[in-house]
Structure 1
Amino acid sequence: MQGTADGSGRGLSGSEELRNNGVVKNVDEARETSTGTPQEELAAGLRSDHPTRNRVARSILDHGPSTVAELAGRLGLTQAAVRRHLDALVAEDVVEPREQRVYGARTRGRPAKVFVLTDCGRDAFDQSYDKLAADALRWIAEKEGGPEAVAAFARARITAQAGAYRKAVESVTPDKRAEALAKALSVDGYAATARSAPVGEQLCQHHCPVAHVAEQFPQLCEAETEIFAELLGTHVQRLATIAHGDGVCTTFIPKTTTDASASTAGRNPA
């Protein structure tokens, strides 16, 4: 596979382009003559002759589920141009349309359609050695004590990783902690943002380098949620995860109260 990731496993850098394989006229014939998996075919077959299309896909990766209007605004394109590129990306199974998820009171009218990356689309940006990681965790579960052993590993992993997050959070005032945590997570490839929400904030991770492994081992998400609660000093609740098919990992952070406890971290949705 050429140019799909650097050695850190964080996916393509901003200067590298998602390569496009164009329109395949005879899909069945192409599949019959191919020897790789669908994900390998997509990543290996993409070319750099459509840089604007790459920008559209990259914007969805960085910002999460996006409407045509949002993409047009971010990229400085017309909505008609964005739709053309999205049609091609949908045909190539890089993105897919979904109904926009609404939190809180729903307004009148139909929800806007948003576009999210498919598993194949994420794989084109990210090579995180998922099978090796999943095999290792499965071995731990079988040989070292079942799900509890995997949970212990997940907690140890995120605790070691959280050193930089802790420094970032402790360097700011409490009202800036979610934003500081989002910036620290982004350094590790999570493309995170923090935004205001009713009675609190939402921490949104638009990318997860270990999403495919976390789909099989939810202990990874649960340990991450627990460390977020510890770092932020308050109960948090995981509302959605990429590992469970959502377009973005969303963690709700309520306004801090005197009786908040980090030990009551919300569990990852089943």
Structure 2
Amino acid sequence: MKNVGEARGTPRGVPQEELAAGLRSDRSTRNRVARSILDHGPSTVAALAERLGLTQAAVRRHLDALVSDDVVEAREQRVYGARTRGRPAKVFALTDCGRDAFDQSYDKLAADALRWIAEHEGGQEAVAAFARARLAAQAGAYREAIEAAAPGERTEALAKALSVDGYAATARSAPHPQRGEQLCQHHCPVAHVAEQFPQLCEAETEVFSQLLGTHVQRLATIAHGDGVCTTFIPKAGHAAQASQFSQNDQQDHTASASTAGRNPA
């Protein structure tokens, strides 16, 4: 299912890797809370805490975030028969948006469609052509954002534009800052499909290169088991060497990306 509940803001003084681990843990627990409501229906804080082995305070904290994200909503518990004294217990139920977050039928439909294209309309190259056309259609808004940004802020501008489309993207200095930056996508709306069709990731990398006017390197992807899709963007003057990094440099970058965001599962 899609991750529900993205964190807002970055506490100062917290290492990026530690923060990323904390955010993944919070998202995982919120997904468990939402899944429990899906499986068992509208639930009280006490019932959720018992089912999930959490404290009621922890459940309330995650419910507050899920309510803020319009994934769950609070309701009065329906009482059948004679009403007892006291205020009715509050229960939490999934909203329509929350139910949609669990719906994987669109992923299956997309994967089935791409498989049919591969089998009947030209093989894997036809899938690649579709992936490039899909990204080209999205690239217009990204291009506008990049062209409006100062030269040194284009990766950040691309990250913000991607975030609008649900990729929760950020830009940061690479482990070797003098060489460039890393574009990190902490969520991928098509990750389940990209696991089967890597052409989607390849087309995205090509579009990033075209938009930024430089060679880029994809270091990690959520579809391949990493917790973050990480793309290296070389600084001006280092673009020519970007495709000729030593094996040690590539391992350093990949290790950094995997450590910062590998799925705990």
| TM-score (normalised: structure 1) | 0.56
Distance in 2 (CA, whole Å) between partners of 1:146 and 1:42 is 41
CA shift at 1:125, angstroms? 4.5
- Unaligned runs of 5+ residues in structure 1 are 23-40, 58-122
Deviations 1:202-221 (A, max 9, x none): 00000000001000000000
Q: CA, structure 1 residues 43+14, in 2 after alignment: closer, same or farther (shift >3 Å)?
A: farther
Q: Which residue among 115, 122, 125 is the counterpart of 1:148?
A: 125
- Count of residues in Structure 1 that have an aligned counterpart in Structure 2: 176
Q: Which residue among 40, 43, 61 is the counterpart of 1:52?
A: 61
Distance in 2 (CA, whole Å) between partners of 1:228 and 1:181 is 9
> Which residue does 1:257 correspond to in 2?
237
Corresponding residue SS for 1:151: helix
Q: Does 1:239 align with 2:219?
A: yes
> Which residue does 2:53 correspond to in 1?
none
- Unaligned runs of 5+ residues in structure 2 are 9-28, 46-58, 67-98, 245-253, 255-265
CA contact under 8 A between 1:183 and 1:192: conserved in structure 2?
yes
CA shift at 1:257, angstroms? 2.7
Amino acid at match of 2:38: A
Q: CA, structure 1 residues 238+51, in 2 after alignment: closer, same or farther (shift >3 Å)?
A: farther
Distance in 1 (CA, whole Å) between partners of 2:44 and 2:153 is 39
Corresponding residue SS for 1:204: strand
Q: Which residue among 153, 169, 178 is the counterpart of 2:146?
A: 169
Q: Which residue among 210, 214, 222 is the counterpart of 2:190?
A: 210
Amino acid at match of 1:162: A
Distance in 1 (CA, whole Å) between partners of 2:199 and 2:165 is 19
Q: CA, structure 1 residues 242+126, in 2 after alignment: closer, same or farther (shift >3 Å)?
A: farther
Amino acid at match of 1:52: R
CA shift at 1:44, angstroms? 1.9
Amino acid at match of 1:233: G
Deviations 1:100-128 (A, max 9, x none): xxxxxxxxxxxxxxxxxxxxxxx995646
> Which residue does 1:132 correspond to in 2?
109
Corresponding residue SS for 2:195: helix
| TM-score (normalised: structure 2) | 0.57
Corresponding residue SS for 1:195: strand
**1:1-270 equivalence runs, <5 A:** 18=30, 20-21=32-33, 44-45=38-39, 49=45, 50-53=59-62, 125=101, 127=103, 129-197=106-174, 198=176, 199-257=179-237, 260=240
Identity among equivalent pairs (%): 65
User: RMSD of the alignment, in Å?
Assistant: 3.9
More helix by percentage: 2
